[in-house]
C-alpha cells in the first residue's frame, strides 16, 4: 500500500516529508510503548502512536520505519517534526483513535509481518 493511500484512509494531515507519498509499505504496528516497539516489532514500515515526543522518532529511525502516524488528534511539536524530517520519516496526524486507525489499515490489506501472536 502506498503512503498516499494510508493518508487517504486515515483522513490524515501530512506534517512533513510529503515527497514520500509514493513510498510502498507492507506492514504497520500500533503502540504507545516504544520499548514494546523495539522489543517485538520486526519489519514494520508504519508506526501508529499517540506518543508525541522525540523518542517516537528515534524509535522509528532505529527500526527503519518510513512513516509515523500520530493518532487521537495528537500533534507533535515542531522539534519532533523537524527531527523526523531530518531523518526522512514522513509524519501524519489523524483524528482516529489507534484501535480504529489500525483496524482501517488492516481491513484494507495492510498487516503486520509474520505472526500476530506474541
Residues 6 or more apart from 73 whose CB is under 8 A from it?
A: 93, 94, 95
Within a domain: 113: no
Q: Which residue has the cell 501472536?
A: 117
Q: Which residue has the cell 516489532?
A: 41
Name the helix (H) or strand (E) containing 106. helix 98-107
Within a domain: 64: yes
Within a domain: 69: yes
Q: What is the pTM for the complete model shown?
A: 0.91
Within a domain: 60: yes
- Per-residue pLDDT at 116: 53
Q: Tell me: pLDDT of 109 over 80.
A: yes
Res. 114 pLDDT band, cuts 50 70 90? low
- Per-residue pLDDT at 112: 73
Structural domain boundaries enclosing 68: 3-107
Tell me the CATH number at 13. 3.40.1390.20
Average pLDDT over the chain, rounded to an integer: 91
Within a domain: 51: yes
Within a domain: 112: no
Percentage of the chain lying above the pLDDT 70 cut: 95
Kindly state the average pLDDT of the residues 22-29: 91
- Judged by DSSP in three states, 13 sits in strand
The total domain count for the chain is 1
Within a domain: 27: yes
Beta bridge partners of 67: 46, 90
Within a domain: 91: yes
Amino acid at each position: 500500500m502506498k503512503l498516499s493511500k494510508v493518508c487517504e484512509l486515515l483522513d490524515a494531515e501530512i506534517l512533513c516529508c510529503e515527497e514520500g507519498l509514493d513510498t510502498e509499505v507492507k506492514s504497520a504496528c500500533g503502540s504507545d510503548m516504544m520499548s514494546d516497539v523495539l522489543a517485538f516489532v520486526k519489519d514494520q514500515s508504519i508506526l501508529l502512536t499517540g506518543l508525541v515526543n522525540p523518542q517516537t522518532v528515534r524509535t522509528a529511525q532505529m527500526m527503519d520505519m518510513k512513516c509515523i502516524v500520530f493518532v487521537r488528534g495528537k500533534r507533535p511539536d515542531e522539534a519532533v517534526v523537524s527531527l523526523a524530517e531530518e531523518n526522512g520519516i514522513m509524519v501524519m496526524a489523524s483524528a482516529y483513535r489507534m484501535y480504529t486507525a489500525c483496524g482501517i489499515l488492516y481491513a484494507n490489506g495492510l498487516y503486520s509481518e509474520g505472526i500476530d501472536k506474541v
